[in-house]
Amino acid sequence: MKAKGPDTMEPYLRVKNIGKTFPGVIALNDVSADFYAGEVHALVGENGAGKSTLIKIISGVYTPTEGEVLLGGQAAGIETPRQALDKGIAVIHQELSIANDLTVAENIFLGEEPRIKGGMFLDRKKMNADAQKVLDFMKVSIRAGDVARRLTAAQQQMVEIAKVITKETKIVIMDEPTSSLSEHEISSLFEQVAILKKRGVAVIYITHRLKELFMICDKVTVMRDGCVVNTFKIDGVTEREIVSNMVGREMKDYYVRTVHTKGREMLRVENLSMEGVFKNISFAAHSGEILGIYGLIGAGRTEVMESIFGARGVTSGKIFVEGKEARFSSPRDAIASSIGLVTEDRRRTGLMLDALVKDNMVLPSLVQHQKRGGFLDIKWETETAAEYVEKMKVKTPSINTVIRTLSGGNQQKVILAKWMIANSNILILDEPTRGIDVNAKAEFYTLMNAFVENGGCIMAVSSELPEIMGISDRILVMREGLISGELSHDEASEQGIIELASLHSGI
């Protein structure tokens, strides 16, 4: 700790009793935290704990429903991202905001370019010299005149930090900055964080990698379900204590779990690898089974599932469907092998939003049910769509309603119906209940259970711990592209799962 310990000073940024509600959801509830100049303060918590909502409030993207944000002891009055920037608050996002075709110097001074005598002409000489000065100060080997596109992801991040340094930023929020960096790049990033710290910047550091906390952070605030659970000084806490603060949520009673009878093997994956994304993934899934797949964002869950479905290439490995080796070069092949995929992003990859309920339901099955000469079987379409709307209790005025107007839960039921109509018996569900309300979730789980009891096989990816524990017969946990463990329903605990998902090696 420095001579003038931060604790003796006023916090530079203070969030007090912040609450944020979205229609139907409480995202933040009575959140308070203090951030000091010259301190690296980590925010940790499960996906959905409220970290990103909090930083969006601090950076002016959202306005809080309750509570206040204080800057240097006074009400901050931040209502837009621009105002936050003007007050010296910068966010370095996971996806970098670099203009690829501009030079490093142009990126660093974007929006604040030096002008010749304050006139309208760009002072390129000064801009390049100043940028180079900052880069040299940071001891990074980037040239101010280089085009940003040629830099590696890590170097681009350095440019973002250079931006922060030139702008005399007071607060830097780093949102999972290491998620796309190699070990070596991470250590050079940490050097820069140390420089920021020395300059008296308050750093808010969001990460899923708990080990990093002990390398660069001074404090850690643990969040869960929109609340702050605890704030620790890093010296006085262990990794396990942090994990146990992250969990401990009550199991909700809406997980309708029935006991299934595990049947024959439906799908087996052997050593599936995709360079740089996931490696040596091997597992089997059976009829009469819901196999849960848990992992933090970026662990590679979605990518593995998309590869099994033929939507993504693999560098090596084998897939077996009902014992026979299968090669899927496109989703069409996977669908022909009776596999269905419910994607995590309903709006982008799940639905034709402006098309009818009926058209969405029958899309993958049209070819199978076409009449001679490639004509549509309208009668079959109408009857089938009506049958499934009824069977799955989809709340829609008619099968000819535009699907955009339905609620999320009903949209999701339509997507499930789509694969049932296509006779899928292996279903991949990626975040199946994201963004749908509690009742709809319960109904959806019931449908999943019915599917499995009829001999189907479900692989469900979820970021919600209670959900994965509530619905799965078996849980695979992924971490950084590898399967880090497998747990049966009975041996799974929140603590155990989180440890597998977030702790570094040695478990």
Partner 1 sequence: MSKIKIWLEKNMIILFLVILCVGFGLSNDTFRTSKNLFNLTSQMAINALLSAGLTYVIILGGIDISVGSVAALAGVISCIVGLKFPNMSTLGGIVIIIASAVVVGGLCGLFNGVVITQFNVVPMITTLATMTMARGLTYIVTGGTAVFGLPTVFSFLGAGRLIKNGTSPNGIIPVVTLFTIAVVFMMHVLLSKTVFGRHVYASGSNANVAHLSGISVKKVTLVSHVLCGIMAALGGVLVASKLQNGQPGACDGYEMYAIASTVLGGTSLAGGSGSVARAMFGVAIIAVINNGMNLLHISSYWQKVVIGTIILLAVILDMAQKKKKA
Asked if 348 touches partner 1 (CB under 8 A), the answer is yes
What does the DSSP assignment read for 29-42? Answer: EEEEEEE-TT-EEE
The least distance separating partner 1 from the CB of residue 349, rounded to whole angstroms, comes to 4
What residues numbered 311-340 form the site for partner 1, per CB under 8 A? 311, 330-332, 335-336
Site string for partner 1, 194-233 (x = CB under 8 A): ----------------------------------------
Shortest Å distance, C-beta 94 to partner 1: 22
Q: What is the 3-state secondary structure (H, E, C) of 259-299?
A: CCCCCCEEEEEEEEEECCCEEEEEEEEECCEEEEEEECCCC
Which segments within 93-215 are labelled E, that is strand? 171-175, 202-206
In the complex, least distance from residue 321 CB atom to partner 1, rounded to whole angstroms: 15
Task: Give the list of residues 6+ apart from residue 310 with CB closer than 8 angstroms, or none.
Answer: 328, 329, 330, 331, 332, 333, 334
307 in Cβ contact with 314 (< 8 Å): yes
Sheet containing strand 324-326, strands side by side: 278-286, 265-274, 316-321, 324-326
User: 293 - beta bridge partners?
Assistant: 461, 476
Show the site string, 405-444: x = touches partner 1 by CB under 8 A, - = not. Answer: -------------x--------------------------
> How far is the first Cα of the chain from the last one, in angstroms, to the nearest whole number?
32
341 or 357: CB nearest partner 1: 341
CB nearer to partner 1: give 164 or 428: 428
Sheet holding 474-479, edge to edge: 339-342, 426-430, 457-462, 289-295, 474-479, 482-488
Binding residue for partner 1, selected from 52, 343, 396, 449, defined by CB under 8 A: 343
Q: Give me the least distance between CB of 337 and partner 1, in Å please.
A: 11
Q: Report the residue number, 84 or 428, with the smaller CB distance to partner 1.
A: 428
C-beta of 129 vs 376, nearer to partner 1: 376
Cβ 365 to partner 1 shortest distance, Å: 9
Stretches 17-25, 280-288, 352-360, 476-484: which one binds partner 1 (CB under 8 A)?
A: 352-360
Residue 363, interface with partner 1 (CB under 8 A)? Answer: yes
Query: Of 10-18, 69-77, 364-372, 456-464, which part binds partner 1 (CB under 8 A)?
Result: 364-372
Chain centroid, CA 501 distance in Å: 14
Binds partner 1 (CB under 8 A): choice among 367, 398, 423, 455? 367
Least Å distance between CB 490 and partner 1? Answer: 35
Q: Are the CB atoms for 191 and 32 separated by under 8 Å?
A: no
| Binding track, positions 70-99, relative to partner 1; x by CB under 8 A | ------------------------------
Q: CA-to-CA distance for 88 and 73, rounded, in angstroms?
A: 15
User: How far is 403 from 42, CA to CA, in rounded Å?
Assistant: 41
Determine the interface stretch with partner 1 among 52-60, 264-272, 288-296, 361-369 (rule: CB under 8 A).
Answer: 361-369
Other CB atoms within 10 A of residue 471 CB: 27
Q: Which is nearer to partner 1, 157 or 425 (CB)?
A: 425
Nearer to partner 1, 360 or 484 (CB): 360
Residue count at the site for partner 1 (CB under 8 A)? Answer: 28
Site string for partner 1, 371-390 (x = CB under 8 A): --xxxx--------------
CA angle 387, 392, 396 (to 5 degrees): 80
User: In the complex, what is the shortest distance from the CB of residue 494 to partner 1, in angstroms, rounded to a whole number?
Assistant: 32
CB atoms within 10 A of CB 77: 11
Are 259 and 477 in contact by the 8 Å Cβ rule? The answer is no
Q: Contact residues for partner 1 (CB under 8 A)?
A: 309, 311, 330-332, 335-336, 341, 343, 348-355, 359, 363-364, 366-367, 370, 373-376, 418
